[in-house]
Amino acid sequence: MMFVTKKMIEIRNLLQQVGQSTSVTLPSIVVIGSQSSGKSSVLEAIVGHEFLPKGTNMVTRRPIELTLVNDPNARADYALFPDISSERITNFSSIQKTLMELNQAVPDSECVSDDPIHLTIHSPRVPDLTLTDLPGYIQVAGENQPRELKRKISELCDKYIRGPNIILAISAADVDLANSTALQASRRVDPRGERTIGVITKMDLVDPEKGAAILTDKQYPLRLGYVGVISKLPAQTGLFKRDSGNLLSVISRNEKAFFSAHPSEFGPDTGVNIGTITLRKKLMQVLERQMSSKLQVTSQDIRRELEETTYQFKIQYSEQPMTAEAYLAGSLDDFKHLFRKFTSGFQRPQMQDLLKNALDQRMLDQLAARYWNKPMGDLSFVPPEDPHNIADLPKADLPSTDLPRDHPNPPYWHKQLDLAASELTHSGVGRLATTVIASAIQSDVDKLINKSTFAKHPSARQVIAEAASTVLADRAYTTIDGIETSLKPYRFDVDIQDHEWTQGRDHVSGVLKTELEHCQTAMKKLEEVFGDKKRLREVMTFIDRVRKRDIVVGRESETAGAGGFSGELLARGREAVFLRDRAEIIKMRMLAVKSRQCKTKENKYYCPEVFLDAVATKLSAVAILFLNVEMVNDFYTRFPREVEAKLGEHMLDGGLQKFVEGDANIRRHLDLIKKKELLELVLAKIESLNSLEGHEKGDMGGR
């Protein structure tokens, strides 16, 4: 019973899970040989299946670390590629295909890769063994092969044939041993031939005497000896079915037939080692011995590495435990906490301010269209004989007490104000409110993500952002409709209370001030772009004169220019005139709003700014009242749950692993914990193995 090997293979698999970061290596059997020496055939005979890619152009480009697991309970032989998936493969020709693809994935520029392919084969018929199949040495690089291929293969093999590995050096009987690349390589690293097993293939291709002479070679003596094999399937294989797993029995039957036909060369008394079954046994014994002899050293290595890992865990992470699940749960809790804080700061007053700002813009549009519409500097513009000019409203440059009482056309201004108010109430406040608040929430959610650990995880980020928009969109239509319905009564008449008027008057002064500043900034920018201020004044004066009909210019001159100014200059000039006039009007209206006349709501027709501001405030209050109940409160309860559910789905099928890998710090933390846990397990296993071995040796010594 190859007990140590079995246990050591388990340990080896655990160490493989630690990955690159461990320096502990356990002995394996590495298989080297020239191309066509029969290396693949020998390996397949040992395994009992054809599973290696073949073909004249096939060059193995990556080492294959093959682990054979004796599994008495396996109903059918199966293989696993542990690095790729946990799927059991029972069809061995599909392994051939996968290996081929993995080989071909190594780019030509790289020639060969030292990143091994891990393959495990479970069967009741295989012994516990680890074998590493290396790319075959090539003598002369083929036409389509990269020039450095030969050198790179040789360097790769050199890495693997170092101690404590056992070298399985394959040479064909029909090639002079002196020319065997495998033996030449092994001699370089194992000059005394202590850890090399020589395998002579193709024994059927040479005379029995010559074959027997090779096996007892004295020129290149090996402590572990030579074994002669015939790994080629005979032409007539009778009932043998490929892929049936009994390849070895067919091959050994064939070998027996050949060797027993030459008893004087290969008979039991000759002392030569022959046959694949013998080879297999030898491999098991040698590996078991090597593993046992390395037990002490290996357990010391592991203890040292565990101490180092524990120390790192202490100084880097203060021994803080961590799991991927805990990281996710912690991130989610933090995010929910941030969200709760946000909700308490984003309530009705804040929402109302946002909506009011958006409505202020609409109010300014109404004011501009109905009240501030001084004719602009269109060169062909002929001012209409319109008595209802802005000049009819209270003038700012007059003392505020001196407002015209007998208005020239009061019904006109009444109508203007009614229309402006009605347009404001009809302007789709439901949609505006819903859009403004939803997009504010969405962008705040983005900011929260940025502050949270999810900022490092683009895909989780997207899941959260989508959860927000889904929950918001769910209620959007009913919210819009609901707001519009609740605003219906205001479409015909808005009753403003005294305190609302006072509030509106205060507020609109600020709105006008900001608007004035915008005009002034735009004007400054224009002057900067223009450069020549004097010239700008000239073109503005010209436009003013055209407007006052001091001079008349034909329409055709507009594009070409007029008054000695180019078309472009005139366009800039018109813009400047517009900004200047707008600023003047606003200044005038700011004074008017402050005047006594605008103190009371009875004068609303003279103070449209105040009235419209009060209306906009009222609309936003009603809209937000409804929106808060219908959409925002619902969002505040549902969103955290939706995030949790959607992230949960996202973390399935390896999502959690990817999520954790997105955070380099956490990944390192988790890797270190995993390494520590695995090393602890490995150490426990190896120590129990050590004490068992010790007992056995003790028992034997006592006998």
Instruction: Look at residues 415, 376, 373, 377 and name the one whose alpha carbon lies nearest to residue 391.
Output: 373
Q: Which of residues 435-464 bind ligand GDP (CB under 6 A)?
A: none
Options 204, 360, 500, 609; binder of ligand GDP; rule CB under 6 A: 204
Among 12, 195, 202, 505, binds ligand GDP (CB under 6 A): 202
> Structure tokens of 362?
């609409």
Work out which of 201, 252, 290, 597 binds ligand GDP, going by CB under 6 A.
Answer: 201
Alpha-carbon distances, residue 56 vs 41, 53, 60, 261, 535 (angstroms) = 14, 10, 11, 33, 86
| Site of tokens 């450095």 | 148
410 contacts: CB under 8 Å, gap ≥ 6:
605
Please state, in angstroms and rounded to a whole number, the distance separating the CA atoms of residues 239 and 250. Answer: 9
3-state SS class at 167: strand
Nearer to ligand GDP, 274 or 622 (CB): 274
**Contacting residue, 36, 237, 435, 469, with ligand GDP by CB under 6 A:** 36
- The residue among 133 and 630 lying less far from ligand GDP, judged by its C-beta, is 133
Determine, following the binding rule CB under 6 A, whether residue 145 of this chain makes contact with ligand GDP: no
Closest alpha carbon to 689 in 127, 302, 283, 126:
302
List the one residue out of 244, 280, 252 whose CA is nearest residue 92.
244
Q: Which is nearer to ligand GDP, 240 or 530 (CB)?
A: 240
Q: Which is nearer to ligand GDP, 204 or 484 (CB)?
A: 204
Work out whether 99 is an interface residue with ligand GDP (CB under 6 A): no
CB nearer to ligand GDP: pick between 39 and 601: 39
Q: Report CA 341 to chain centroid distance, whole Å.
A: 29
Among 171, 231, 254, 273, binds ligand GDP (CB under 6 A): 231
Q: Judged by CB under 6 A, does residue 171 bind ligand GDP?
A: no
# residues near ligand GDP by CB under 6 A:
17
Give yes or no for residue 136 binding ligand GDP (CB under 6 A).
yes
41-80 residues in contact with ligand GDP (CB under 6 A) are 41, 54
Q: Determine contact, residues 560/466, Cβ cutoff 8 Å.
A: no
Question: What whole-number distance in Å separates Cα of residue 175 and Cα of residue 478?
Answer: 87
Q: 473 and 634 in contact (C-beta within 8 Å)?
A: no
CB of 251 to ligand GDP, least distance (A): 9
Residue closer to ligand GDP (CB basis): 38 or 608: 38
Contact between 199 and 169 (Cβ < 8 Å):
yes
Binds ligand GDP by CB under 6 A, chosen from 118, 150, 187, 232? 232
Long-range contacts of the stretch 338-346 (C-beta < 8 A, 24+): 338/448, 338/451, 338/452, 339/445, 339/448, 339/639, 339/640, 342/444, 342/448, 343/636, 346/440, 346/441, 346/444
Stretch that binds ligand GDP, among 16-24, 201-209, 306-314, 600-608 (CB under 6 A): 201-209
The CB-of-259 to ligand GDP minimum distance in angstroms stands at 12
37 binds ligand GDP (CB under 6 A): yes
Q: Which stretch binds ligand GDP (CB under 6 A): 197-205, 314-322, 373-381, 453-461?
A: 197-205
Asked whether position 205 contacts ligand GDP by CB under 6 A, the answer is: yes
CA distance 469 to 381: 49
Least Cβ distance, residue 41 to ligand GDP (angstroms): 3
Supply the minimum distance, in Å, between the C-beta of residue 136 and ligand GDP: 5
Q: Which of 22, 28, 40, 434 binds ligand GDP (CB under 6 A)?
A: 40
Under the binding rule (CB under 6 A), the answer on residue 613 touching ligand GDP is no
Q: What CA–CA distance (Å, rounded) separates 50 from 66?
A: 14
* CA 676/CA 311 separation, integer angstroms: 10
- Name the one residue in this structure whose structure tokens are 């819903």: 434
Angle, helix 276-317 to helix 664-702, in steps of 10 degrees: 130
Nearest distance in Å: CB 674, ligand GDP:
37
| Least distance to ligand GDP, CB of residue 201, Å | 5
What number of residues does the chain have? 703
Residue 255 C-beta: closest distance to ligand GDP, Å: 9
- From 32-40, 148-156, 191-199, 316-324, span contacting ligand GDP (CB under 6 A): 32-40
For every residue of 492-518, DSSP letters joined together read: T-----HHHHHHHHHHHHHHHHHHHHH
| Region from 150-158, 227-235, 505-513, 535-543 binding ligand GDP, contact rule CB under 6 A | 227-235
Nearer to ligand GDP among residue 27 and residue 38 (C-beta)? 38
Q: Which residues are near ligand GDP by CB under 6 A?
A: 33, 35-41, 54, 136, 201-202, 204-205, 230-232
